[in-house]
């Protein structure tokens, strides 16, 4: 199954239901539902944001549909991705997760998720919420708008700045490409392709919802 990160053939295709949508979900019902109802919709819930950062890290080197099919297992294994609970995981939890065939059993990615939960709590203490900090990196100009005929980027200057910011704070397994995939999925940009039936809905969702209070470094 093709992944949104494999941005080589940027076009809109007509799905089995007759609707035009981005090419990457194909006809997989789970993937189509994710594309239509989740991907790009503005999200400001801290648990959801933390979950997606973790899952994007686990997705590195894999197709997103692989993670999507395991998402319920991940949620059960990681206590719903509550940062406070994950931050308290210890060596026994790492062993438990490495033995869990329902998730991606990769020690460094598991340890990264635990580390990042601890860093998330620090950021919440500093900024008031993950959302307040992460949404302060929402591009304020044309970045994230796809002109007709232009390819969807794999990363952007803003995703590089956010990745560098998180790295400086001790987060791991989050480079510019992984961070841009997170920005796309969580609605910091609208990368539904022109002609995709979801694009206008996402524009309306993004335009009609309040942003968290921005940080002073807004870009």
- Residues annotated as catalytic are 34, 56, 64
> For the stretch 156-166, what's the b/e string if a residue is b when 16 or more beta carbons lie within 10 angstroms of its beta carbon?
bebbeebbebb
- CA–CA dist 172, 146 (Å, integer): 29
List Cβ neighbours of 104 (8 Å cut-off, separation of 6 or more): 58, 62, 66, 67, 70
Q: Which neighbouring-strand residues pair with 13?
A: 21
Q: What is the dihedral of CA 148, 149, 152, 155, to 10 degrees?
A: -90
């Amino acid at each position: 199954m093709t992944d949104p990160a494999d941005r080589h053939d940027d076009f809109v295709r007509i799905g089995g239901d007759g609707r035009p949508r981005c090419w990457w979900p194909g006809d997989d019902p789970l993937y189509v539902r994710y594309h239509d109802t989740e991907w790009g919709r503005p999200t400001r819930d801290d648990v959801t944001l933390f979950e997606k950062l973790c899952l994007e890290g686990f997705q590195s080197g894999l197709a997103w549909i692989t993670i999507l099919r395991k998402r319920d297992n991940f949620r059960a294994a990681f206590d719903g991705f509550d940062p406070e609970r994950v931050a308290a995981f210890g060596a026994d939890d790492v062993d438990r997760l490495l033995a869990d065939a329902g998730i991606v059993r990769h020690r460094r990615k598991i340890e990264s998720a635990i580390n990042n939960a601890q860093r998330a709590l620090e950021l919440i203490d500093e900024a008031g919420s993950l959302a307040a900090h992460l949404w302060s990196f929402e591009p304020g100009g044309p970045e994230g708008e796809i002109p007709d005929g232009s390819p969807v980027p794999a990363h952007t200057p803003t995703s590089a700045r956010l990745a560098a910011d998180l790295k400086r704070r001790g987060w791991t397994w989050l480079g510019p490409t992984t961070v841009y995939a997170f920005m796309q999925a969580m609605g910091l940009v609208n990368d539904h392709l022109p002609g995709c039936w979801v694009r206008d809905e996402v524009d309306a969702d993004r335009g009609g919802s309040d942003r968290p209070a921005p940080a002073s470094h807004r870009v």
